[in-house]
Amino acid sequence: KRWVLATSNAGKLSELNDLLGDSGIGLVTQGSLGVIDAEETGLTFVENALIKARHAAAATGLPALADDSGICVDALDGAPGLYSARYAGTHGDAQANIDKLLEALRDVPDAQRSARFYCVLVLLRHANDPQPLIAEGVWEGRILHARQGQGGFGYDPVFLDLARGQSAAELPAALKNRISHRGQALATLQARLAALAGR
Ligand code: ITT
């Protein structure tokens, strides 16, 4: 089976490919099919994921998977949240986004640096599918005072996984996938699909 992945984010693509492993589902990116990014005009992660999946399904005729995600910091009232990819102004500039986040939290002590990654996955079987499969995942942690680690993408170098005492960028990719917001969301989505298939 082939699904179009409604993303231009290479980090998401790599993680979702790893997570789908030998499931029999092959992801093809919308970019490789000549589909340009949808405008993310929603006010929630769910809305944006639906917008992206519908756009990709309509343009390609394939089932479409979309991931809308971000990092929510309590001391910043949930920011960057929905705007995580463009927090510092330029879409996808992880260096600038992290710099801005560290600056915003400069004088905030550890006890008040709690944060969570949030991910919504939407699977549309076709563009007019009235019953999208929707799954979410949450990963709790804390914002570090400086970058640690080289792996992952986005905010991973400054996101501390409390249970392991390492940043998301220090965790082996397979471990990050097992515990992350995205890993949890995909596991839930796959369980739903399996339940549907078994009906
Ligand atoms: P697409 O819309 O093309 O999928 P995007 O990067 O614009 O890509 P989002 O609007 O969902 O996607 O923004 C998600 C941002 O949240 C992403 O750019 C990262 O900065 C951050 N993010 C999400 N998941 C992350 C993860 O696992 N590790 C680090 N940062 C993450």
Please give the Cα distance from 44 to 65 (Å, whole number): 17
User: What's phi and psi for 72, nearest 5 deg?
Assistant: -115, 120
Do the beta carbons of residue 133 and residue 122 sit within 8 Å?
yes
Per-residue pLDDT of the chain (199 residues; tens, 9 = 90+): 999 999 999 999 999 999 999 899 999 999 999 999 999 999 999 999 999 999 999 999 999 999 999 999 999 999 999 999 999 999 999 999 999 999 999 999 999 999 999 999 999 999 999 999 999 999 999 999 999 999 999 999 999 999 999 999 999 999 999 999 999 999 999 999 999 888 7
Identify the domain containing residue 107 by its residue range.
2-197
Name residues contacting ligand 1 (CB within 6 A). Answer: 7-9, 12, 37, 40, 67-71, 84-85, 92, 97, 117, 152-156, 168, 180, 182
Q: If you measure from the C-alpha of residue 142 to the centroid of ligand 1, how many angstroms do you get, rounded to a whole number?
A: 18
Domain count of the fold of the chain: 1
Where helices occur in the chain by DSSP H, the ranges are 10-20, 45-60, 94-104, 173-179, 181-197
For residue 98, the domain's CATH number is 3.90.950.10
Q: If you measure from the C-alpha of residue 12 to the centroid of ligand 1, how many angstroms do you get, rounded to a whole number?
A: 7
C-alpha 87: how far from chain center: 15
Q: What is the ipTM of this complex?
A: 0.98
